[in-house]
Structure 1
């Protein structure tokens, strides 16, 4: 662009906002679609619709994914939530610097992690079952062995995938290309179907599906996004996003390939059966 010339722009008539489904949900077409995502998070956080409430559930929470995220308004909205976790694509490293410095584009997200609580795993059974790897492998659990102590929270921003050039045949490895934001509430209760118990869960309420990355530059592109409360989509998105979070990595992991930090533990069934048999032989009344 020549100095003094205005940035080329599409004509304003491309932009459309349509009401879809229950009151409060809209679809956005054109430029600045990300504004619909940001406003939708704010509306949920401020309880603009009664159906977004949850019994014993004050905690507005977001699970999300995008190829990349840097939009300042969106980051501020994430920081205002009770809990959030967004998975983005793993970023390249400058190998000429030793040890590698945190890339400039990651510093803002690293700062967001430092000032936000992340998500507590106790509200998500799928995440609570996972444990840290030992020597790059799931720990093996047997008689008398216990799982390592785990961090009770997962940070707000995580990464996943492969750095460029990490493919075995030199081809472009798979990338995280979905752009989803699932809003819901954390809630606590003091009983379950069997009586008194400490119950902690997450209930999804509304889902953003869009083409726009969570970036400031996406606001200049022609994009599409909409809010839905379809229960099948809510359930499917929750499962997909928790799978991403459960197999995610830190902001700037050492591995160029996909190397999840947590996994389900392996159980030494033979050793555990042998230990149970020994207990029975020592005490036949042992059950």
Structure 2
């Protein structure tokens, strides 16, 4: 069977199971089996597979049909134009989180002083910290996470991009590992409310609950960060957070109670997705 025939067949099966990214998933899985890039796979689409290669691909396809994420099956995820190593137990980066990176870069470019220090709270795979470090070579970044798995995965990605001298990994809860004042705290913390967590797809619940579940209203860790971080912020510093658009009212109210001024930014669909908090 040729790669084209196998891709067509597997895409039909994935579509039949309601998987919207069926074509892309098929290509990524086959590229993994053939140890090639997706681009080269498509360029050589008429090549035939060996029986061993076809067997390996069908085993991966079966697992995908059973609800496993392509990111975990391929041990790879893509974010802000870069490729990242990934393992189960660490959240696969989402496209909407790229807005957080974009707004962080805007904020940094508006600052007059140089040698700014940024912290990525709950770094997971390290994708946000790495995207910022690649975009702004002068930054020093601390990346914190309480998960040992996350720290291990982030370390692999930092080494992959040769950023060990500029991104320092710290294990601990939120801001607790930080020993100096920070100019910008960036965080994509778990914000899935209890009601939503019970209804999400099986593929999503296979990811770390620790990286998804945000308590009854989804704001447990976000509120904890807002409450505990002021002592870690340098004068003129800011906190930047991703959140569920439905949480804006509660988040805005809590931020103002803690003497922060919130500024909201919208995603491509026009929904509130990122908030920048500065101290009054």
Is TM more than 0.5 here?
Answer: no
Q: TM-score, normalised by structure 2?
A: 0.30
Structure of greater Rg: 1
Give the structure, 1 or 2, with the largest relative contact order (CA under 8 Å, sep 6 or more). 1
Hey, which of these two has a bigger chunk of helix by percent?
Answer: 2
Hey, which of these two has a bigger chunk of strand by percent?
Answer: 1
